[in-house]
Amino acid sequence: APLIELTDVSKRYGNVRALEGVSLEVGAGEITCVLGDNGAGKSTLIKIIAGLHRHDGGVLRVDGEETRLSSPREALDLGVATVYQDLAVVPLMPVWRNFFLGSEPRKGVGPFKRMDIDLMRETTRGELLRMGIDLRDVDQPIGTLSGGERQCVAIARAVHFGAKVLVLDEPTAALGVKQSGVVLKYVAAARDRGLGVVLITHNPHHAYLVGDRFVLLRRGTMVGNHTRDAITLEE
């Protein structure tokens, strides 16, 4: 089964139809891009998958199981991690402390209380390196990293703590060309490690660089849903 499957999902706020009949899938090792202008329903879609809002029509399945998520914690426990644009990092804390922040032991997660600081440093450095970022000084405050590097740390953290699905909210929106490239390569590395990725973006170029599936929203409805093959021109 796909890791995430939405079938005919709808969501209203009062009488605003924020989403109407949206269907999409995210498989393991796949990046599904969700594209659309402001007001298209991208945030609403994220919030449903991340457990911040409940959908009021249609079906959401996570790992084949129908569910109506009622909290971000519940989503996380099912392996769905969301990285928001305004990353929840503490700028003055070292990179490695941010990496382990909020990772209180729960089922399936290592006993980090017993890890010493050197091990946490090594783990942080190792996870970043594993996906191609050589950050020698993980003691520097995370606020000194570039926006792109901070996104990568947040993604690495989700991967390390066992996420199966990574939901990324406009990860390149605030970044320049070079930093966007760094982040997109990192997103592709997460996909190559087998995660399912939902990449929300309003940048079609960024979507095309890494996407396997493309969902286009307009005013809450889905006006396109294509695999990469379908939009790749014949040679």
| Residue ranges that bind ligand ADP, judged by CB under 6 A | 13, 16, 18, 36, 38-44
CA 45 to CA 172: how far, in whole Å? 18
CA 92 to CA 156: how far, in whole Å? 19
Q: How far is the CB of 44 from ligand ADP (least distance, A)?
A: 3
Q: How far is the CB of 94 from ligand ADP (least distance, A)?
A: 28
CA 194 to CA 32: how far, in whole Å? 13
Indicate the residue among 53 and 160 with the shorter CB distance to ligand ADP.
Answer: 53
CA 169 to CA 93: how far, in whole Å? 23
Indicate the residue among 34 and 133 with the shorter CB distance to ligand ADP.
Answer: 34
CA 132 to CA 126: how far, in whole Å? 10
**Burial profile 60-84: b = 16 or more Cβ within 10 angstroms, e = fewer:** bbbbeeebebeeeeebbebbbbbbe
Q: How far is the CB of 4 from ligand ADP (least distance, A)?
A: 17
Q: How far is the CB of 154 from ligand ADP (least distance, A)?
A: 16
Indicate the residue among 36 and 94 with the shorter CB distance to ligand ADP.
Answer: 36
Q: How far is the CB of 111 from ligand ADP (least distance, A)?
A: 35
The amino acid at 85: Q
Indicate the residue among 38 and 102 with the shorter CB distance to ligand ADP.
Answer: 38
Indicate the residue among 18 and 159 with the shorter CB distance to ligand ADP.
Answer: 18
CA 157 to CA 146: how far, in whole Å? 17
172 within 8 A of 206, measured Cβ to Cβ: yes
